[in-house]
Each structure stands twice: as structure tokens, then as C-alpha cells.
């Protein structure tokens, strides 16, 4: 408490300062009371801590087993429900096209399979047999490299089929030969595996795919009767 000095009244400035100090002390008390009156907010979601959680709460559920992807071989093994057409490019025959003196009835004038190509053709046939693919029919271009590929595969009797002949040198027959192959497929029973051994240009005209030697494009008829691609098959893989 402020006391007057020598019974003299306090100067006005001292009274003013004392008033300000009283207001400050009063404000601090009110603020402290307000803080004491606050109620903590409870969390909206209480999560168990690691010490509280039971082992079952922390255990990860085992991943559901994934089914194996369906392969082209799987499709061919189920050919009792669907007709599949295997458009196979002949096995490895080094070079491009055929010699200028090419004659259809003389293999010596043609581009033929190499030793590697003959081995490849045998491996393709073995891959079909190992997977128990039931081949209903084998058709082939009349070119010697196609006939030899089909025979070395040993999947059944080989039937020469002219619409599968190469039109690499004469593209004027491309449209008609392609249409004949499509019509032939449409007239087959809707089941089984039909192997057609032919040339790159023929397969590309039918599918838009450029297969390598010994590769095949697997096709099936869709709902409207058109050939639709199932996938590219490499029997060596």
C-alpha cells in the first residue's frame, strides 16, 4: 500500500500509476481463472496403442492366392469349346523372298529351311504334343519351306492349301487369298485346333501382325464370325 510522505498528499501522477497497476493485476487474475475453467476436448477417435493392442489386432491378413494367368496353351487345350486357328509362319529359312528362277514344283529353286529351321520345326511340334494339343487339321502353303515345316512338326497329315501360298512377289492376289482363308475358317466346326503353315505376308494380311520365323498368331472367331486375335505364340518359349 502506498503511503503519503510526511502527511503530504501524493502527486496526481503517482495515483495514476497506482491505478494502472491495479488494473493489470486484476486482468491477470481473470485470465488465470478463465484458463482454469477450460475443459480439455476429448479425442474423436481413440486408437489402441501398441501396448494396448492384442496380437490379433496387429497381424496382417494373408494375401489372397492369385490364379495363374491364362496362357495361349491353356486356350488350345480347351479347344473342345472353341475353334482356334494357329497361323504359323514357316520355320527359319535364311534369306528373303525366293530366287528369280523360282518354280513351285522344284524345291531346289526355292528358299528352304536351314538345319536350324528344321530343328525349330521339330521343336514346335514337340511343344504341341507335350501339352496334349489335339490338332484337328494341318494345312500348308505349297512352298517347300512351309510343307517341310508342317511335316517335321508331325501333328497329323499335311494338306497343301493354295490360298496359303505366298503373295510376296505378286500382291494382286492378296485380297482374294485372304478372303478364301477367312471363308474356309468360317465353314469349319466351332471346335478344335486348325494349324495353317504359311508366310509372313499372308499372316500380316489376316492379322496385322508381323511374326518371326516359327511364330504363330492364334485366332478365333468372334460373335459376328470374324477372325479375332487371341495372341502371339512362340512355341520355343
pLDDT in tens, 70-99: 689 999 999 988 999 999 999 999 999 899
Q: Which pTM value belongs to this model?
A: 0.71
What HEC string does 159-223 produce?
EECHHHCCCCCCHHHHHHHHHHHHHHHHCCCCCEEEEEEECHHHHHHHHCCCCCCCEEEEEEECC
d(CA 137, CA 125): 13
Q: Which of 71, 81, 120, 83 is nearest to 231 (CA)?
A: 71
Query: Which CATH topology does 72-234 take?
Result: Rossmann fold (3.40.50)
pLDDT at 30 (0 to 100): 43
pLDDT in tens, 128-166: 999 999 999 999 999 999 999 999 999 999 999 999 999
**Domain residues of the chain, as ranges?**
72-234
pLDDT in tens, 166-219: 999 999 999 999 999 999 999 999 899 999 999 999 999 999 999 999 999 999
Amino acid at each position: 500500500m502506498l503511503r503519503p510522505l510526511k502527511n503530504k498528499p501524493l502527486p496526481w501522477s503517482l495515483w495514476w500509476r497506482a491505478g494502472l497497476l491495479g488494473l493489470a493485476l486484476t486482468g491477470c487474475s481473470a485470465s488465470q481463472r478463465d484458463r482454469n475453467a477450460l475443459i480439455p476436448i476429448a479425442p474423436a477417435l481413440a486408437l489402441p496403442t501398441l501396448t494396448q493392442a492384442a496380437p490379433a489386432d496387429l497381424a496382417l491378413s494373408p494375401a489372397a492366392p492369385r490364379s495363374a494367368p491364362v496362357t495361349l496353351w491353356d486356350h488350345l487345350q480347351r479347344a473342345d469349346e472353341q475353334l482356334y486357328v494357329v497361323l504359323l509362319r514357316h520355320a527359319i529359312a535364311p534369306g528373303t523372298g525366293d530366287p528369280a528362277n523360282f518354280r513351285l514344283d522344284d524345291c531346289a529353286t526355292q528358299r528352304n529351311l536351314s538345319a536350324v529351321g528344321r530343328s525349330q520345326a521339330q521343336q514346335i511340334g514337340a511343344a504341341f504334343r507335350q501339352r496334349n494339343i489335339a490338332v484337328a487339321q494341318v494345312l500348308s502353303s505349297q512352298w517347300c519351306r512351309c510343307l517341310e515345316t508342317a511335316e517335321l512338326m508331325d501333328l497329323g497329315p499335311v494338306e497343301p492349301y493354295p490360298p496359303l501360298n505366298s503373295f510376296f512377289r505378286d500382291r494382286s492376289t492378296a485380297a482374294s487369298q485372304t478372303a478364301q482363308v477367312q471363308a474356309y475358317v468360317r465353314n469349319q466346326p466351332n471346335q478344335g485346333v486348325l494349324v495353317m503353315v504359311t508366310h509372313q505376308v499372308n499372316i500380316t494380311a489376316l492379322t496385322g501382325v508381323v511374326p518371326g520365323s516359327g511364330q504363330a498368331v492364334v485366332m478365333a472367331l468372334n460373335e459376328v464370325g470374324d477372325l479375332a486375335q487371341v495372341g502371339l505364340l512362340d512355341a520355343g518359349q
